[in-house]
Structure 1
Amino acid sequence: MGGLKGSVGSGGANNRDDVVQVQSLLNAQRPAGSPALKVDGVAGPRTLSAISDFQRRRMGGKAADGLIEPGKRTWAALRGQPQPARRAATAAPADARATAAAARATTVAGDDPRLSGARWWHANQARYPNSSSVEDLESPFRENLKAFLAALRAGGASVRVSATRRNRARAQLMHYSWKVAHGQIAPNAVPAIDGCDIEWDHGDLTTSRAAAREMVRLFHIVFKPSLTSNHIQGTAVDMTITQPSSFSIVDAGGKTVKITSASLLHQVGASYGVYKLASDPPHWSANGR
């Protein structure tokens, strides 16, 4: 059995041959009485759970991020090898900048939990949740939206709200993940995010950008996220409206409007102060942006 070519587990590359190796080793070290994994090269829920369980058993709860990486602690433990030691700095740096770079290089080898990437995302992203509650929106947009939703439902439409206020720190994490991944900002130039302990600079540019790309993928980012989104201000909503084949709605002025096109529905929304961004199917806001 050879070495891993890529990472396996939560947020990993999960190449088939690598997953087969991990599944086989997990089976060999599974607790007595526990069922064996199917060695099929697919990193499914049972395999991901088995990785986390192994990490908790062998290395403690703090290390249970569900990810196995070549040359790192979990891979060594799974193969029954001694744990990789932290790499010590071998020479005194000439100035403060070199000192910081040397420290980062050392902590990379020691799996510094502050370093950006898939591991950081899995351990921390849940601390910065977005909201799908209308109650979290700002007034008067909150009241305007409630009135529009009531009119939609009174007309027989069903509405599913998927997002309202966006967590500011999450928006910044998404924005700078994109910028670092695409070379639009140097990792060591990313400004601090209030209440968020993350280190974007891994000591070399290639590794730093690769870690940022992992976060872009895990955040499911397709376009560069904005730092000035109406969602951050609490003045936007993403919602899916399903209307009956024959649909009429009362606008904010009390007029009944038969909806025969999307533009008519958008006009009714605007009468309530809820404006449609046509280029983004679920997005409505206080100003149409």
Structure 2
Amino acid sequence: MGSSSTRDLAGTFRHAVEDYIYAMTDAGIDVSIDATYRPVKRSYLMHWSWRIVNDGLDASRIPTLAGVDIEWEHPTKAESIKSASDMVAALSIRRLRTRPALRSQHNFGLAIDMAISWNGTVFVKDARGTLVRIDTMPRTGMNRQLIAVAASDGVKKDYGGNKDVPLWSNNGR
């Protein structure tokens, strides 16, 4: 299992994220945390199951990972795909638009996945305590003004565009 608690984030990044989330919620922005810390074994399962389902990867080509007892290859290709599809659903990554990383900042407690939304214009405090008027679209975590506020706190938006919309980290990856 992974975590969706900011308590499982590392050091100063944890404090930066908590400050940023506080500033957003104080401004009336809805924030829903999906994931913070992710064990390497979970990343492995996410990566390879998604690849079988979405990239058509041959299950027999998947390398093993110590401590993960799984048979990717089944008697037929259809059965391998069905089992991988079941895992993709169980791991809640069916709608993910990009291949999950084998290793990511999540493995070090340096990333967070959040759904962010609001209505109308909001005023969010940046790290210096300055109120920033956010009145542009979209009203999601992809808003450029909100991304700038986050950067002032040391929380950087994934720079992969719309592929990994909920991802924020210490380095934008």
Deviation, structure 1 residue 208: 3.7
Structure 1 position 149 matched with structure 2 position 30: no
Q: Residues 165 and 196 of structure 1: is their aligned pair in 2 closer, same or farther, counting only changes over 3 Å?
A: same
**Partners in 2 of 1:208 and 1:240 — Cα distance?**
32
The equivalent of 2:150 in structure 1 is: 269
Higher relative contact order (CA 8 A, sep 6+): 2
Letter matched to residue 268 of structure 1: V
CA distance in 2, matches of 1:180, 1:281: 22
- AA paired with 1:173? L
Task: Report the equivalent of 2:71.
Answer: 199
In structure 2, what is the equivalent of residue 93 of structure 1? none
Residue 216 of structure 1 aligns with which residue? Answer: 88
Work out the CA distance in 2 between the residues paired with 1:239 and 1:209. Answer: 29
Equivalent residue, structure 2, for 1:159: 31
Name the stretch that deviates more: 202-211 or 258-267: 202-211
Would the alpha carbon gap of residues 152 and 184 (structure 1) be closer, same or farther in structure 2, given more than 3 Å must change? same
Which of 251, 272, 279 in structure 1 is aligned with 2:126? 251
Does the aligned pair in 1 maintain the 2:40–2:103 contact within 8 Å?
Answer: no
What is the CA–CA distance in structure 1 between the aligned matches of 2:116 and 2:74, rounded to whole Å? 44
1:152 and 1:207 map into 2 onto residues whose CA distance is 45
Distance, in Å, in 2 between the alignment partners of 1:214 and 1:153 is 35
Percent identical pairs in the alignment equals: 38
Residue 281 of structure 1 pairs with residue 155 of structure 2: no
Instruction: Give the SS at the match of 1:232.
Output: helix
- What is the distance in 1 between the residues matched to 2:64 and 2:49? 13
Q: Distance in 2 between matches of 1:130 and 1:196?
A: 15
Is the deviation greater in 171-180 or in 257-266?
171-180
Q: Counterpart of 2:16 in structure 1: which amino acid?
A: N
Q: Which has the larger radius of gyration?
A: 1
| Residue in 1 that maps onto 2:107 | 232
The answer to which of 218-227 and 162-171 deviates more is: 218-227
Asked if the contact 2:17/2:153 (under 8 Å) is kept, the reply is yes
2:57 pairs with one of 150, 175, 184 = 184
Q: Distance in 2 between matches of 1:163 and 1:217?
A: 16
Per-residue deviation at 1:238? 1.7
Higher strand share: 2
In the TM superposition, residue 245 of structure 1 has moved relative to its aligned partner by 2.7
CA distance in 1, matches of 2:168, 2:116: 11
Determine which of 245, 249, 260 is the counterpart of 2:135: 260
User: What TM-score do the two structures reach when normalised by structure 1?
Assistant: 0.48
> Structure 2: where are the runs of 5+ without partners?
137-142
Find the aligned partners of 2:78 and 2:115 in 1 and give their Cα distance: 40
Which residue pairs with 1:114 in the alignment? none
Matches within 5 A, 1:104-183: 129-181=1-53, 182-183=55-56
SS at 1:140 equivalent: helix
Q: Is 2:52–2:59's contact at 8 Å kept on the other side of the alignment?
A: yes
**What's the offset of the Cα at 1:213?**
3.9
So what's the TM-score if we normalise by structure 2?
Answer: 0.76
Pairwise CA distance, 1:274: 0.8
* Post-superposition CA distance 1:115-151 (Å, at most 9, x none): xxxxxxxxxxxxxx12110011112211111111222
Amino acid at match of 1:271: S
